[in-house]
Amino acid sequence: MGILEKIQAIQEELNRTQKNKATEYHIGLLKGKLARYRAQLLEPTPGSSAGGGQGFEVQKSGDARIALIGFPSVGKSSLLSKITKTKSEVANYAFTTLTSVPGVLEYNGAELQILDLPGIIQGASEGKGRGRQVIATAKTSDLILMILDATKAGDQRAILERELESVGIRLNKDPPNIYFKVKKQGGLKFNATSPPKYLDEKIVGSILRDYKIHNAEILVRDENVTVEDFIDVINASHRSYVRCLYAYNKIDAVSLEEVDRLAKQPHTVVISCELDLGLDDLVERIWSDLSLLRIYTKRRGQTLKFDEPLVVRSNSTVESVCDSIHRSIKDQFRYALVWGASVKYSPQKCGLQHPVADEDVVSIVTK
């Protein structure tokens, strides 16, 4: 019997078996078996390329991508089904979701792509299950939404953080403020704007020698950077700095005191998909963590459409607004008229480098 048939047989048996005290143990065993077989389905088959898995990658779409990361059966698919129109299979056994399932959350005129993903387990980063693919997807997202089970708080959070850390994902961190450039000659030039507390020329030199880098310029601009930060800078091409929001689901099943304790952790929201608790708050937090800006563009002689903003990333300028409208618009650019929080006077004549703010109105004047 192949794995798929075994899975089907167990599922049928589960459906047939009445739930009561006498069958509790047997049902537990069946669920364990089911999870194990489904985990096997996730294993790359011999011969397939690293992790294999057809159709796993989903095209990025919309204004931002949010990846749902968590252990099996914490409620990732339940959440997707709640906050988007997409239905992803929900069940009470591990590894129900075997591939990535995209949904769209429309909010504030923006389209946010939410990716439901298979559960990951300890060792995921080393290739257990679909772990590597799931983590690769997390790395490409604008926000990781880590779903945690309030009934099993414990160390889930730390374990998942370690898994992500080990493949170079840095959560809720800015890239270290160190200028680093490998040179062809000239030896190592180490400088710092003020003496770093946890780093010195000697350790930096030893690390670089180990990497066989003998010529480089290093300027430390932040006295609090650590050795780990410096290593991250050397390996910058393999590091991603991603925002992470933690959501404890199933708060309907724990005490109020426990909910309170969980909610006090940083970057954390508490929810119940089953009872529809905290979901509006969660969506609001997703939005604010993404730091997207809504820009209303106005063409001469046209009325403004406030329901159709152009959505750009934080730190965007008039230039990025032009690029989002059309690739060629910059060539004909004369100036922009801007109304809103980014200017002193409304409207104000601005150039391409002017930084825009949320809900600005921008009118591009072309040649």
Ligand X SMILES: Nc1nc2c(ncn2[C@@H]2O[C@H](COP(=O)(O)OP(=O)(O)OP(=O)(O)O)[C@@H](O)[C@H]2O)c(=O)[nH]1
Tell me: does residue 95 bind ligand X (CB under 6 A): yes
Sign, CA torsion 28/31/36/42: negative
Task: Compute the CA torsion angle 137, 138, 139, 141 (nearest 10 deg).
Answer: 90
Is 117 exposed, middle or buried, given 0-12, 13-18 or 19+ CB atoms closer than 10 A? Answer: buried
Tell me: does residue 94 bind ligand X (CB under 6 A): yes
Number of residues counted as binding ligand X (CB under 6 A): 24
Measured from the CB atom, is 97 or 156 closer to Mg ion?
Answer: 97
Candidates 77, 113, 137, 316: give the one binding Mg ion (CB under 5 A): 77
User: How many whole angstroms separate alpha carbon 280 and alpha carbon 270?
Assistant: 11
Tell me: does residue 96 bind K ion (CB under 5 A): yes
| Among candidate residues 327, 330, 364, 332, the one with its CA nearest the CA of residue 349 | 364
C-alpha 362, offset from chain centre: 30
Of residues 91-110, which lie at the interface with Mg ion (CB under 5 A)?
A: 96-97
- Residue 100 interacts, among Mg ion, ligand X, K ion, none and using kind-specific CB cut-offs from 5 to 8 Å, with none
Work out how close the CB of 188 gets to ligand X at its nearest, in angstroms, rounded to a whole number: 48
Candidates 273, 318, 362, 364: give the one binding ligand X (CB under 6 A): 273
- DSSP E strand stretches across 221-366: 240-249, 268-270, 293-297, 310-312, 333-339, 348-350, 361-366
Work out how close the CB of 80 gets to ligand X at its nearest, in angstroms, rounded to a whole number: 8
Measured from the CB atom, is 71 or 339 closer to ligand X?
Answer: 71
Candidates 73, 78, 125, 297: give the one binding K ion (CB under 5 A): 73
Work out how close the CB of 77 gets to Mg ion at its nearest, in angstroms, rounded to a whole number: 3
Q: H or E element: which one contains 69?
A: strand 64-69
Measured from the CB atom, is 91 or 159 closer to K ion?
Answer: 91
User: How many whole angstroms separate alpha carbon 123 and alpha carbon 198?
Assistant: 30
Instruction: Note the residues at the interface with ligand X (CB under 6 A).
Output: 70, 72-78, 90-92, 94-97, 118-119, 249-250, 252-253, 272-274
